[in-house]
């Protein structure tokens, strides 16, 4: 999709005429595109007027030049239009809504994206170019902030023109812009395969950061330029003729070497200018791999190869899948010549695809996740026939850099966090004590809740107290305070170190609250504690109070305690008598003690669910009805002297049956509340059998009563947690009697 064609030259004042400029563009423009560009041109002209940038250059001249470079990258009309308009946000009358109405969301989004990335330069200056980790984080952040890949191309094009006009800045400003270009923008152009931008950015920046070295290498090249060009032309013609004589269809080109890349190679390999083999270089492109080796044979037959200067990256590709044959020979007149031989497919991969050897060139360490995404972008960029630009942009927005967010401190330091991280996660990332004392946060200057999900480019300020402590609610995953394991571990560690008696009291309160929420009573707490690694009840309470156990784990313990596996009899003929257990033949969900096969059914009054303490009642003619032990009906039957008809029962653990449960959800009313609840239940594989909603319009509150079918207390607890975490929900619990 992106290919640089021709020279990305400057615009003269005489060309600030729309028809002439349009004619000069290196792409064909249809009527619809012409209309978009014409309207963008007129809007830019009317807003910019005669205003000048700090360099003294007119805003309009700058905008047209940037748009010309963008067009040279073969980008679409919307991006070229955005390039014409990209300086609008600096003008006081700028209104993004007006821009969106006139040009649509796409163009407006590109202009806004370019403006957002403008903060990167300030961050780079504050972070210091010497801190490589910070600089790399800024590069990643630049791409992550540019939700649309075209924004990056637009910003790179603007940076190219800024470097062309850098001479109009003072010495300090020139140096800052050059360092920023070498640290951030040239490597991005390299990674994205826009080589012509990369080389010019590097050479112009290098001329400012290392002027003496630049002039020395330029002088060495200038002294030999005419001779070198003549020599390369003669060698190219000789090789082309030899390949044709051998029946090899090949394209031979001279490969230019730029000053910055020459210097980097001299530094990397500790070589002098005279020791470089690739000042004179040719590239041979053929159709097939056998032709590569055949061409190599022709080269080595023509000229003497230089020992230890041959690399076969076709048989043994580089780690990034780069493939090519590299050789150096002693050419005519005894001069060294480097020759690269590859297929056209290999060339496309090397220039624009996943094999671009940017790490080899930049000498940086590995970051597989980031590298894979850069490779994915570049693979898209080299396409064009199989997927259109619109699909490319949609995929970029949906998939690229979705696993990390990059946020900024007020001092300008950049930190990365997992997607979905909150300001509280960020506080713990900075320091555990800051996390403990955190009571609020400002994002981009505005107060936000601690559950706010951070976005790329957010500037985050943590608001803390002199002395404070974490809340146990922070450990509840359904409430959404913390995402990162480090932050959760810090909170648990804090509670673990607190007073044992206080933890016991807090844990007892947590357990009572959880049992009440699940509608469970008469639970043998000592037996439940014995099932844990803490053993004793007080240790169990303390673990709850410290945050070492969660509500979901409590529900799991209740399931295991209240759903015992029935013991298998020692022989196939079980003994019958008091105290022996026997499976009922009427229902596999319940074990009935002390009697033979009886029909069982679940009581509709209390809706017992696996995990609830239960009791059986022998009815007249209907077998055994299973009630929860706290069911009001059982209390009434006991008062009516029906105690002789009660029977001990327990749950079987291997049941897959679902059980109806009534739950009650209180929330501040909002649009889509019921939809969000039912969607969540569906995702949790919970069937909804009934819904009733009552709304108090004056208080703007809603009560949603649902009858759902669950497999047991564990699933019920998880569902209640998830529902409680929905926006505007105040409370979610099992309904009384449900």
pLDDT surpasses 70 at 179: yes
Give the pLDDT band (50/70/90) at residue 351.
low
Residues pairing with 214 in the sheet = none
Q: Which region among 80-94, 176-190, 370-384, 654-668 has the lowest average model confidence (pLDDT)?
A: 370-384
Give the pLDDT band (50/70/90) at residue 597.
low
Predicted confidence (pLDDT) per residue in 647-660, tens digit: 777 776 555 667 78
Q: Which region among 117-126, 162-171, 569-578 has the lowest average model confidence (pLDDT)?
A: 569-578
Integer Cα distance of 672 and 267 in angstroms: 62
pLDDT at position 305 is 92
CATH homologous superfamily of 659-734 equals ACT domain (3.30.70.260)
pLDDT surpasses 50 at 715: yes
Q: 62-76, 293-307, 465-479, 544-558: which has the highest mean pLDDT?
A: 293-307
The better pLDDT of the pair 702, 552 is held by: 702
* Cβ atoms 510, 451 nearer than 8 A: no
pLDDT at position 453 is 93
**pLDDT above 70 covers what percent of the chain?**
73
pLDDT at position 93 is 85
In terms of C-beta density within 10 A (0-12 exposed, 13-18 middle, 19 or more buried), how is residue 558 classed? Answer: buried
The CATH number for 404-495, chosen from 3.40.50.720, 3.10.20.30, 3.30.70.890, 3.90.850.10, is 3.10.20.30
The CATH number for 13-209, chosen from 1.20.1440.230, 1.10.3210.10, 1.10.1520.10, 3.90.470.20, is 1.10.3210.10
Question: Of 71, 76, 64, 84, which is closest to residue 4 (Cα–Cα)?
Answer: 71
Integer Cα distance of 563 and 352 in angstroms: 61
Taking the C-alpha atoms of 56, 63, 70 and 363 in order, what is their torsion angle to the nearest 10 degrees? Answer: 30
pLDDT at position 40 is 92
The enclosing H or E element of 492 equals helix 485-496
Greatest distance between any 2 Cα atoms in the chain:
119
pLDDT at position 573 is 37
pLDDT at position 570 is 37
pLDDT surpasses 90 at 254: no
Helix pair 96-117, 31-48: axis angle to 10 deg: 80
Q: Which region among 311-320, 366-375, 559-568 has the lowest average model confidence (pLDDT)?
A: 559-568
Q: Which region among 96-105, 359-368, 405-414, 540-549 has the lowest average model confidence (pLDDT)?
A: 359-368
pLDDT at position 358 is 35
pLDDT at position 569 is 38
Q: 181-190, 383-392, 441-450, 636-645: which has the highest mean pLDDT?
A: 441-450
Question: Which two three-digit tokens encode residue 345?
Answer: 């497919």
Integer Cα distance of 722 and 625 in angstroms: 32
Integer Cα distance of 518 and 526 in angstroms: 19
pLDDT surpasses 80 at 232: yes
The CATH number for 218-365, chosen from 3.40.30.10, 3.30.460.10, 3.40.50.620, 3.40.50.720, is 3.30.460.10
Ramachandran angles phi, psi of 443, nearest 5°: -120, 120
Helix (H, G, I), strand (E, B) or coil at 92: coil
Q: Where are the beta strands (DSSP E) in 619-658?
A: 624-628, 646-647, 649-651
Integer Cα distance of 591 and 593 in angstroms: 7
Question: Which two three-digit tokens encode residue 334?
Answer: 């005894």
Domain 13-209 identical in fold to domain 659-734: no
pLDDT at position 385 is 38
pLDDT at position 656 is 60
pLDDT at position 736 is 74
When pLDDT is averaged across residues 457-474 and rounded to a whole number, the result is 87
Helix (H, G, I), strand (E, B) or coil at 696: strand
Q: Nearest 5°: CA angle at 354, between 77 and 1?
A: 15
Q: Which region among 143-147, 214-218, 426-430 has the lowest average model confidence (pLDDT)?
A: 143-147
The enclosing H or E element of 339 equals strand 336-343
Give the pLDDT band (50/70/90) at residue 552.
low
pLDDT at position 595 is 47
Give the pLDDT band (50/70/90) at residue 327.
very high
Predicted confidence (pLDDT) per residue in 114-161, tens digit: 887 766 666 556 555 445 555 555 555 555 555 677 888 888 899 999
pLDDT surpasses 90 at 76: no
pLDDT at position 135 is 58
Give the pLDDT band (50/70/90) at residue 315.
confident
Mean pLDDT of the chain: 77
In terms of C-beta density within 10 A (0-12 exposed, 13-18 middle, 19 or more buried), how is residue 495 classed? Answer: buried
Q: 24-38, 234-248, 610-624: which has the highest mean pLDDT?
A: 234-248
Integer Cα distance of 565 and 654 in angstroms: 8
Question: How many C-beta atoms lie closer than 10 Å to residue 395's C-beta?
Answer: 15
Predicted confidence (pLDDT) per residue in 475-533, tens digit: 888 788 998 888 988 898 888 777 677 888 888 888 888 887 777 777 777 777 777 76
Q: 143-147, 254-258, 339-343, 679-683: which has the highest mean pLDDT?
A: 339-343
Question: Of 686, 676, 670, which is closest to residue 725 (Cα–Cα)?
Answer: 676
* Cβ atoms 83, 154 nearer than 8 A: yes
pLDDT at position 438 is 93
Domain locations along the chain: 13-209, 218-365, 404-495, 498-562, 581-651, 659-734
């Amino acid at each position: 999709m992106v290919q640089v064609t021709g020279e990305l030259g400057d615009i003269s004042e005489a060309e600030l005429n729309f028809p002439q400029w349009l004619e000069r563009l290196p792409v064909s423009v249809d009527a619809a595109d012409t209309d978009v560009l014409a309207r963008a041109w007129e809007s830019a002209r009317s807003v910019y007027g005669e205003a000048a940038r700090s360099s003294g250059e007119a805003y309009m001249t700058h905008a047209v030049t940037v748009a010309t470079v963008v067009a040279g990258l073969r980008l679409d009309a919307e991006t070229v239009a955005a390039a014409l308009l990209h300086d609008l946000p600096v003008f006081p009358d700028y209104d993004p809504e007006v821009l969106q109405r006139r040009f649509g969301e796409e163009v407006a989004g590109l202009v806004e994206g370019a403006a957002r990335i403008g903060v990167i330069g300030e961050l780079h200056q504050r972070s210091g170019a010497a801190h490589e980790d910070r600089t790399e984080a800024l590069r990643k952040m630049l791409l992550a902030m540019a939700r649309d890949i075209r924004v990056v191309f637009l910003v790179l094009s603007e940076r190219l023109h800024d470097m062309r006009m850098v001479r109009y800045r003072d010495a300090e400003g020139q140096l800052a812009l050059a360092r920023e270009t070498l640290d951030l923008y040239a490597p991005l152009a390299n990674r994205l395969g826009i080589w012509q931008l990369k080389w010019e950015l590097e050479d112009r920046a290098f001329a400012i950061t290392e002027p003496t070295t630049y002039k020395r290498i330029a002088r060495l090249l200038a002294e030999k330029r005419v001779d070198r060009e003549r020599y390369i032309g003669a060698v190219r013609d000789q090789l082309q003729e030899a390949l044709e004589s051998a029946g090899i269809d090949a394209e031979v080109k001279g490969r230019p070497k730029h000053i910055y890349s020459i210097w980097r190679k001299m530094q990397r390999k500790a070589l002098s200018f005279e020791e470089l083999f690739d000042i004179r270089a040719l590239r041979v492109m053929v159709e097939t791999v056998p032709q590569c080796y055949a061409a190599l044979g022709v080269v080595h037959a023509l000229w003497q190869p230089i020992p230890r200067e041959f690399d076969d990256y076709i048989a043994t590709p580089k780690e990034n899948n780069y493939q090519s044959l590299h050789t150096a020979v002693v050419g005519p007149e005894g001069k060294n010549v480097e020759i690269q031989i590859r297929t056209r497919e290999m060339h496309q991969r090397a220039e624009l695809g996943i094999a671009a050897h940017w790490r080899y060139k930049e000498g940086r360490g590995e970051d597989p996740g980031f590298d894979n995404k850069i490779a994915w972008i570049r693979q898209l960029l080299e396409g064009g026939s199989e997927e259109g630009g619109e699909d490319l942009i949609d995929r970029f927005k949906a998939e690229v850099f979705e696993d990390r967010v990059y946020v900024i401190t007020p001092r300008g330091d950049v930190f990365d966090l997992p997607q979905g991280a909150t300001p509280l996660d960020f506080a713990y990332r900075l320091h555990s004590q800051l996390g403990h004392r955190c009571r609020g946060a400002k994002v981009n200057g505005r107060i936000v809740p601690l559950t706010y999900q951070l976005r790329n480019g957010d500037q985050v300020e943590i608001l803390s107290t002199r002395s404070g402590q974490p809340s146990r609610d922070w450990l509840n995953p359904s409430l959404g305070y913390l995402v990162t394991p480090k932050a959760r571990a810090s909170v648990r560690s804090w509670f673990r170190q607190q007073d044992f008696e206080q933890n016991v009291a807090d844990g007892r309160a947590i357990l009572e609250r959880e049992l009440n929420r699940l509608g469970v009573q008469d639970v043998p707490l000592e037996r439940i504690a014995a099932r844990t690694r803490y053993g004793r009840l007080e240790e169990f309470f303390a673990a709850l109070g410290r945050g070492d156990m969660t509500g979901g784990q409590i529900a799991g313990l209740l399931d295991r305690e209240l759903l015992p596996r029935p013991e298998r009899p020692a022989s196939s003929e079980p003994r019958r008598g008091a105290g022996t257990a026997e499976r009922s033949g009427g229902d596999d969900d319940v074990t009935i003690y002390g009697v033979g096969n009886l029909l069982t059914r679940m009581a509709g009054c209390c809706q017992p669910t696996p995990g609830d303490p239960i009791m059986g009642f022998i009815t007249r003619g209907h077998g055994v009805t299973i009630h929860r032990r706290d069911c009001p009906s059982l209390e009434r039957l006991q008062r009516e002297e029906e105690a002789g008809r009660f029977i001990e029962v327990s749950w079987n653990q291997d049941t897959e049956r679902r059980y109806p449960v009534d739950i009650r959800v209180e929330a501040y009313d909002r649009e889509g509340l019921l939809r969000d609840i039912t969607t969540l239940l569906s995702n949790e594989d919970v069937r909804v059998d009934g819904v009733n909603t009552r709304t108090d319009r004056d208080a703007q509150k809603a009560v949603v009563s649902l009858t759902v079918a669950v497999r047991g207390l564990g699933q019920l607890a998880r569902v209640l947690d998830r529902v409680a975490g929905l926006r505007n929900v105040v409370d979610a619990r099992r309904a009384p009697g449900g």
